[in-house]
Amino acid sequence: MDLGIKGKTALVCASSKGLGLGCAEALAEAGVNLVMNARGAEALEASAERLRSTYGVSVTTVAADVATDEGQAAVIAAAGDVDILVNNAGGPPPGMWSDWDREDFIKALDANMLAPIALIKALVPGMMDRGWGRVVNITSQSVRAPIGVLGLSNSARTGLTGYVAGTSRQVAGSGVTINNLLPGIHATDRADALDGAVVKSRNISLEEARIERAAGIPAGRYGTRQEFGAACAFLCSTHAGFIVGQNLLLDGGATNITM
């Protein structure tokens, strides 16, 4: 399918690896020029160069932490008049409800709620003026079914979801859509970190931890960054203009809900 976005430009946050890289790859394959962001300059530039050489698109890199004011300013300056914004950030650490203090919640909110909102506020007005734009926020399956050990993520990402629910309907008439992708377990560094926590708490091997977690997924496996990226690229396409304010689960059926 021709996604109809060849020649457009996308800002993809946290895209040196994992789900963000999957989104950047799929957009580059569709002919979209990229502004890629991550905190680590070396890994970011390596991924960017691979996409340049593979797909022949323009890729600008911005090594910065978008959870900070300085990082947001750098990314916004590099983004310019982008057509597509993919918000993404690493999740907060797992733990128990009694582990977290106010500062832990502030850090989670800065990274997983306030930073995406800041980028939306900075870049969506230009999209509205031009009459076309796409915003995709990578959140989590936990906004539909909270995960006990991910209380920081549950809180911050659900806050972003509430913001998007109202904002998306206010900007849709200007040709701009805002939607959320809700990943379950994918084969990324984040999954490795969570599996590692299970290894320590249960005193089992990493392979045993992965087998146990995969057994709880109806699809019987972890997701891949490539299939996640394909879903992101579709939401960014010209075919998705009537999808507004939605929360799309990509979890292999793990979240057992009716609606």
The one-digit pLDDT tens for each residue of the chain (259 residues) are 899 999 999 999 999 999 999 999 999 999 999 999 999 999 999 999 999 999 999 999 999 999 999 999 999 999 999 999 999 998 888 889 899 999 999 999 999 999 999 999 999 999 999 999 999 999 999 999 998 989 999 999 999 999 999 999 999 999 999 999 999 999 887 777 777 878 888 888 888 888 888 999 999 999 999 999 999 999 999 999 999 999 999 999 999 998 8
Residue 60 to residue 34: CA distance in whole angstroms: 6
Q: Which residues pair with 36 in a beta bridge?
A: 12, 61
Token pair listed for 203: 């005193």
Token pair listed for 58: 């323009």
Calculated CA dihedral for residues 146, 147, 150, 152, nearest 10 degrees: 10
Token pair listed for 136: 């995709």
Q: Taken in order 215, 138, 150, 62, is the CA torsion positive or negative? A: positive
Token pair listed for 68: 């900070």
If one counts every other C-beta atom within 10 angstroms of the C-beta of residue 44, the result is 23
